[in-house]
Structure 1
Amino acid sequence: MTKKYTIKDFSAMFSLAPSTLRYYEDEGLIKPHRLTNQQRYYTDDDVNWMRFLLHLKNTGMSVSDLKKYVAWRAQGEQTIPQRLQLLKQTRVKFLEQIKQQQHHLQILNDKIAWYEGKTNGKIADSESFSNYLKRLNHKK
């Protein structure tokens, strides 16, 4: 017997509000099943699909591109080239985001190291953070 999840249970699995699931439904990203009383329910296949959608969303893929992907997927294997191209474009953008995040992390780490150096006497009181970065050959 197939497990059936209510919208409340399904939304809790993903830490999403039920209204978000309804939005995804309105956008055609998910398609819940319906009981005879029209109450929504979801299955384990829907859980797997939602996980994948959220992976794509968390790479920065736009709702518009998610909708394209879903539409192409529904059309069958003949759209694999389009889906592949979209995923490759998403990967390029995501790698750039990762690069930017790594830069932000480096600045955060540099600032922490600068403060630690200031507090333990390894960095002169007169050395500014900007000069410290120059000495490390880092950019702001």
Structure 2
Amino acid sequence: MVKKRAVGYTISDVANKYQIHPQTLRTYEREGLLTPARTQGNTRVYRGEDLQRLEFILTLTRELGVNLAGVEVVLKMRKKLAEMAEKEIQGRIGGRPPGGCP
């Protein structure tokens, strides 16, 4: 059973929970796909949002066969779409018509 620490999960907890090698998590971090927080002792700490992102990455790689370069592209597109949606919402709140045109 995975023990939740006060600040999050350790790399070994996450690796066990998702049945992946800790080195896989380090690779995801090195590639910029995951960015867990660090303790003062430099230990990785995975929080809820990190686990959600990891689950998305694992879905892409395991179920859809996407390689890490493809995962990076999908994550960037996902971020860009979220930014565009937020901009659209802010535009509507500000009284501008859809599409951002004044």
TM norm structure 2? 0.66
**2:15 corresponds to:** 11
Cα distance, 1:79–1:29 mapped onto 2, change above 3 Å: farther
Structure 1 residue 70 displacement after superposition: 2.0
Match of 2:73 among 68, 71, 75: 68
**1:39 corresponds to:** 43
Sequence identity, in percent?
29
Contact 1:2-1:43 within 8 A present in 2 as well: no
Within 5 Å, which residues of 2 pair with 1:93-132?
none
**1:116 corresponds to:** none
Cα distance, 1:73–1:40 mapped onto 2, change above 3 Å: same
Structure whose residues are more often helix by fraction? 1
CA deviation string 1:57-94 (max 9, x = no partner):
121112111011223334453578xxxxxxxxxxxxxx
TM norm structure 1? 0.50
**2:88 corresponds to:** none
Structure 1 residue 39 displacement after superposition: 1.0
- Give the root-mean-square deviation of aligned CA atoms: 2.2
**1:25 corresponds to:** 29
The gaps in structure 1 that reach 5 residues or longer are: 81-140
Q: Which has the larger radius of gyration?
A: 1
Cα distance, 1:2–1:74 mapped onto 2, change above 3 Å: farther
Instruction: Supply the AA of the counterpart residue of 1:68.
Output: V
Matched residue count: 80
Instruction: Provide the C-alpha distance between the structure 1 equivalents of 2:68 and 2:49, rounded to a whole number of angstroms.
Output: 21
1 or 2 for the larger relative contact order (CA 8 Å, sep ≥6)?
Answer: 2
Secondary structure at 1:29's aligned position in 2? coil
The gaps in structure 2 that reach 5 residues or longer are: 86-102
